Chain A
Amino acid sequence: MPILETRSLSKHFDALVAVDAVNYSVDAGELRSIIGPNGAGKTTFFNMIAGDLLPTSGQVLFDGEDVSEVPAHERSHLGIGRTYQITNIFPKLSVLENIRIAVQSRKMTFNLWSTIGNHKELIERADEILERINMTEKRGELGGTLAHGEQRYLEIGIALATDPKLLLLDEPTAGMSPEETIQTGEFIKSLADPLTIVLVEHDMEVVLGISDKITVLHNGAFLAEGTVEEVRANAEVQRVYLRE
């Protein structure tokens, strides 16, 4: 059974069809990529999976359950984690606090009578995550003062801290230098399996080496799906996308 499935999922913004009846299916442990030019509808597609937007029609199934109408915060608890194309962190909280608040979301919200100091396990878990994103030394710095690339990693860390089964990464390498981009690609590869990852990228080169399967989105609809070679060989893809 696929961990994530969409059935003729559509999103209309008035007359604009941003996502057009998309059928998509991801198995647990896969690392998948969705590529497509700007405005193809990649972010909108993610927004409907994570619950930031409700679909105009169609369904999102997660772990076999229809979550199309489930609020975003509940989908997070079901196991959907995400990052955004435009960095979305807590800029005025420290790096540690950024991660810790995400860890805390798994354990407690309306806990009024203890203190964070009573919950060492939160900090321990946060430190594990910090190690994983290689930011232990920065734990005391404010999120907003980090370099751009570090903020992108911090956001992945926040998503990881919520223990997702499915991680949606929206252009994680946006704005990174070529070396950073290569590093990040490897880092993402290291996260996959048992974690399932769907990666959205504007640029095909980033996803080349790491993806199990690539899907091409164009004007809100899927154009092609397959291994890197298959997609490359696809004439239509070449016409609308690769020749750009």
Chain B
Amino acid sequence: MDSAAPKNRFTPKEFWAWISEVFDNYGILILAGLLLVYPFFFTTLNDSIIWLEDNDWETSAEILAEIRGFVPSTPLMIQILIYTLFGIAFNILLGNTGMLSLGHCAFFGVGGYTVGIMHAWIKPDTYAPDWMVSAFKVLPLEISLITCVIVSTFVAWLIGTICSSKRGVYFAMVTLSISMIFYYSAQTFDDLTGGTDGLGGLENMRLGSINLRVGIMDANITYYFVFFLSVVFIAIIWQILRSPFGHVLRAIRENEDRARICGYNVAKVRLMAFTMSGAISGVAGALAIIYGETVPIENIHFITSGQIVIITLFGGAGTFLGPAVGSFIYWYLRQLMSVEFVKYLAIFQYWEAWVGGIFVLIVLFVPSGILGTIRNMTLEYREKKYLAKQAAAEAAADPE
């Protein structure tokens, strides 16, 4: 319109604003699309290496194999997906309600043990009822997963009634101590849980309805199984957080006393949030044992709670997809250091220390996490742009 000042559409800032706009609106869809084709990508990469070798392109094959070391494998992506779901469920509390739980390993572990114990114990020659054997041969995964949802919801509700009335540090300490009880129980009842060796010998895990074997035999199928369930549960969380209830959560995070005097039953809302978070963490815990077909006791150990705190803060507790970013960075870095970097520098075998160091740096210098910082920069940029526009409009309206 103003021909004297032609618009340059592609200044870098415009470009970044456009990118973040697109990411804001379609980020979840883009991410889901990429994740949907990931196994194809990785399988193609593997196949190309084999093809190159078969056709005597030794050097190219070697180079590509070297590159593959830096590409997350499908099993690693399974792990990343699971911890994304776990982190987003955990963030119902941390990012949205303002409750830092240090006991989420209890739910992650209980979810895993529920499915694990059922598959380890309910076998055709032991407890599996006849109808199940004749219909599905083995215990179908649908039944163990539904049981897992019920059990983890109940456990989360039970723990929630004990600790969700606590605040701040007390809440963190109580959740931590309760999760310790779960860990020691898993250790003590080793007949049932396999104790410190982990629980193995799970009867092959099959989706009864479509007679599909998932587990260590096929990473791609397991990936899609995990992907599908993660997407479903992440979508559920997304809806919950945008619902009127989600707004109540954030009001409580911002000012609990004000929310209460506005008439909200804060104790009940906190308990609800805790139960949802714990129940879905239990589902993540169930998914986490499927590819490995064992339940390692570490899943119910405090270290798992620490991991999910780190992952969520890495990505940004104030954003919905922060835990996804955090999960990717955490597992990818861990893999790179302990498998690739360590080839060049032995010191990288202590990857925990490196990840811990990076964590400290992030907390110190980008306290809102990676996605949170990007979000803040974008908002700041938009605000500036908006103000400039307003100033221009005012100047135009008032020629003096």
Contacts and interface: CB of A to CB of B under 8 A. Distances in A.
Interface of A: 50, 52, 71-74, 76-77, 81-82, 88-93, 97, 100-102, 104-106, 108-116, 119, 158, 162
Interface stretch (B213-221, B262-270, B340-348): B262-270
A158 B269 CA distance: 20
Given A111-B244, A112-B239, A112-B243, A93 B254 contact: yes
Interface SS of A by simple majority: loop
A76 B262 contact: yes
B259 interface: yes
Contacts of B250: 93
Interface string B232-276: 000000011011110110110011011111111110010010000
A76 B261 contact: yes
B74 to A, nearest CB: 34
Given A89-B258, A92-B254, A111 B264 contact: no
List the 4 shortest-distance A-B pairs measured between CB atoms, nearest first. A76-B263, A105-B263, A111-B244, A90-B254
A116 B246 CA distance: 10
Contacts of A113: 239, 243
Most A-side CB within 10 Å, residue of B240, B263, B264? B263
29 contacts: A50-B261, A52-B257, A72-B260, A73-B262, A73-B265, A76-B263, A81-B261, A88-B261, A90-B258, A91-B254, A91-B255, A93-B250, A93-B251, A93-B254, A100-B247, A101-B247, A101-B259, A104-B248, A105-B262, A105-B264, A109-B264, A109-B269, A111-B244, A111-B245, A112-B240, A114-B244, A115-B242, A116-B242, A162-B263
Contacts, number: 86
B244 A108 contact: yes
Nearest to B272: A110
Contacts of B243: 111-115
A162 to B, nearest CB: 6
A112 B272 CA distance: 11
A90 B261 contact: no
A72 B254 contact: no
A52 B262 CA distance: 12
Interface of B: 239-240, 242-245, 247-248, 250-251, 254-255, 257-266, 269, 272
Interface SS of B by simple majority: helix
A112 B245 contact: yes
A92 B258 CA distance: 13
B260 A73 contact: yes
A90 B251 contact: yes
Contacts of B260: 72-73, 76
Nearest to B242: A115
Contacts of A71: 265
A101 B239 contact: no
Contacts of A81: 261
Contacts of A104: 244, 247-248
B230 to A, nearest CB: 19
Contacts of A52: 257, 261
Contacts of A72: 260-261
Contacts of B255: 88-91
Nearest to B244: A111
A158 B251 CA distance: 12
Given A73-B266, A110-B272, A112-B243, A82 B261 contact: yes
Contacts of B248: 101, 104, 109
A119 B244 contact: yes
A114 B242 CA distance: 8
A199 B247 CA distance: 31
B55 to A, nearest CB: 55
Contacts of B264: 73, 105, 109
Contacts of B261: 50, 52, 72-73, 76, 81-82, 88
A97 B240 CA distance: 18
B247 A73 contact: no
B237 to A, nearest CB: 11
Given A110-B245, A112-B245, 16 more contacts: A72-B261, A73-B263, A74-B263, A90-B254, A92-B254, A97-B247, A104-B244, A104-B248, A105-B262, A108-B244, A109-B248, A109-B265, A109-B269, A110-B272, A112-B243, A116-B242
A73 B242 CA distance: 23
A111 B241 CA distance: 11
Contacts of B247: 97, 100-101, 104, 116
Contact of B258 (A50, A106, A109, A158): A158
Nearest to A90: B254
Contacts of B244: 104, 108-109, 111, 114-116, 119
A153 to B, nearest CB: 15
Contacts of B269: 109-110
Contacts of A116: 242, 244, 247
A16 B237 CA distance: 49
A195 B255 CA distance: 26
A127 to B, nearest CB: 17
A163 to B, nearest CB: 10
A91 B258 CA distance: 11
Contacts of B254: 90-93
B273 to A, nearest CB: 11
Most A-side CB within 10 Å, residue of B247, B257, B265, B272? B247
B378 to A, nearest CB: 17
A140 to B, nearest CB: 10
Contacts of B262: 73, 76, 101-102, 105, 158, 162
